[in-house]
Amino acid sequence: MLQNVQRMNAFIHQLDHWPEFSWRTDEFVNLLSEVRNLQGRLFGRMESLGFELKNEATLETLTLDVLKSTEIEGEILNPVQVRSSIARRLGMVIAGSVESDRNVDGMVEMMIDATHHCFRPLTSERLFDWHAALFPAAPESFLLETEMNRFLDWFNKKEDIDLVIKAAVAHVWFVTIHPFDDGNGRIARALTDMLLAQSDKSTQRFYSMSAQIGLDRKQYYEILERTQKGNLDITEWIQWFLRCLMNALKSTDTVLNRVLFKADFWNKHANTPINERQKKLLNKVFDGFEGKLTSSKWAKIAKCSKDTAIRDINDLISKNILQKEEAGGRSTNYELQ
């Protein structure tokens, strides 16, 4: 009797048959089918875009992924630094590029390695490199060496399991092992993206699982805790994971529409006289300008006088590119027409 009670209160990694996970496929087969359908439609849509637009969409998605994965852990990164760091590593030239700090570059390095080199084997050395990118004092070994060797063998093994389901299993398995003192959540989400990239058969990312997990952060931690304190049947976790992934795929329209709108704008105004300051500020607006656009902010970002900023803005208003916001207020704000 006492033994039964102890087993009921045990974590799954303490159970006799750990880590022999099981699940009831019939309870999520329709969800998986919908996810696969959405993945196919998304990548079909992306195929019709040119090389530059695909890169722009990847840049937007990876930026969101890095920002939200760290935000889940309570750390807020600078979006401009993240975007610039990713662009440099992808060989892209973007407006308003800035230098980034070690925290940003480390997270970016891990995410790009996980997704752009998704078909390379996952090794201990690679995981230690990721951890070293996140934290300066990198460990020399895992906290649970035997457990991690078993995980790595499974991760790299080619087996008859859908890669989307494998991503769900890998996520809960890794965070349950908890092989590092810190950074396990971020690394688990990188591993998830790595397997999802394999499932998409693409090193380019057009949707962000981390952004969706961030929106469902409370549920994310609740379902993980419930799974880790349950038995080795992880059907409920897989169902939650698939719903989260489905919502991530559906939300890509926001990112892609912004990319397409930006491309259409510059095509439309290919012959419109627009100076470098104006191009810089317009690109900032397209890339998600924080707050309201005012002449004071224009002057600060463009590093020009307020009079020059006002001339730039009025010039764009005369060309039907900018307009004054109707809301008004103490200071005049501007928006795209």
Residues 242 and 280 in one domain: no
Which of these, 219, 214, 143, 135, lies nearest to 174 by C-alpha position? 143
Q: pLDDT tens across 146-174, in order? A: 999 999 999 999 888 999 999 999 999 99
pLDDT band at 84 (very low <50, low <70, confident <90, very high): very high
Average pLDDT over residues 208-217: 94
Q: How many domains does the chain have?
A: 2
Residues 17 and 155 in one domain: yes
What interhelical angle do 124-134 and 145-156 show, nearest 10?
A: 110
For residue 217, is it within any domain?
Answer: yes
Torsion of CA 189, 191, 194, 196, to 10 degrees: -60
Average pLDDT over residues 309-320: 93
For residue 336, what pLDDT is reported? 87
For residue 330, what pLDDT is reported? 64
- Which structure tokens are listed for 244? 């989260």
Residues 116 and 215 in one domain: yes
For residue 264, is it within any domain?
Answer: no
Which amino acid is residue 105, in one-letter code?
D
Residues 234 and 331 in one domain: no
For residue 239, is it within any domain?
Answer: yes
At residue 86's C-alpha, the angle toward residues 80 and 88, to 5°, is: 100
Residues 298 and 245 in one domain: no
What residues contact residue 169 under an 8 Å CB cut-off, 6+ apart? 21, 161, 234, 238
Flag whether pLDDT at 95 surpasses 80. no
For residue 186, is it within any domain?
Answer: yes
Residues 289 and 249 in one domain: no
pLDDT band at 237 (very low <50, low <70, confident <90, very high): very high
Instruction: Give the residue carrying structure tokens 């688990």.
Output: 188
Q: What is the CATH number of the domain that holds 304?
A: 1.10.10.10
Quote the CA–CA distance of 12 and 34 in Å, as a whole number.
Answer: 30
Which of these, 205, 46, 30, lies nearest to 112 by C-alpha position? 205
For residue 265, is it within any domain?
Answer: no
Residues 186 and 312 in one domain: no
For residue 92, what pLDDT is reported? 85
pTM of the entire structure?
0.81
Average pLDDT over residues 304-312: 94
Quote the CA–CA distance of 34 and 38 in Å, as a whole number.
Answer: 6
Flag whether pLDDT at 329 surpasses 70. no
Residues 112 and 22 in one domain: yes
Residues 89 and 191 in one domain: yes
Q: What is the CATH number of the domain that holds 224?
A: 1.10.3290.10
Flag whether pLDDT at 222 surpasses 70. yes
For residue 268, is it within any domain?
Answer: no
Residues 198 and 292 in one domain: no
Q: Please give the helix or strand (H or E) that residue 100 lies within, else none.
A: none
- With a pLDDT cut of 70, the percent of the chain lying above it is 95
For residue 154, is it within any domain?
Answer: yes
pLDDT band at 6 (very low <50, low <70, confident <90, very high): very low
Structural domain boundaries enclosing 322: 276-336
Flag whether pLDDT at 49 surpasses 80. no
Instruction: Select from 255, 290, 322 the last residue of a domain.
Output: 255
Residues 172 and 90 in one domain: yes
Residues 241 and 286 in one domain: no
For residue 262, is it within any domain?
Answer: no
Q: pLDDT tens across 102-158, in order? A: 889 999 999 999 999 999 999 999 999 999 999 988 787 888 899 999 999 999 998
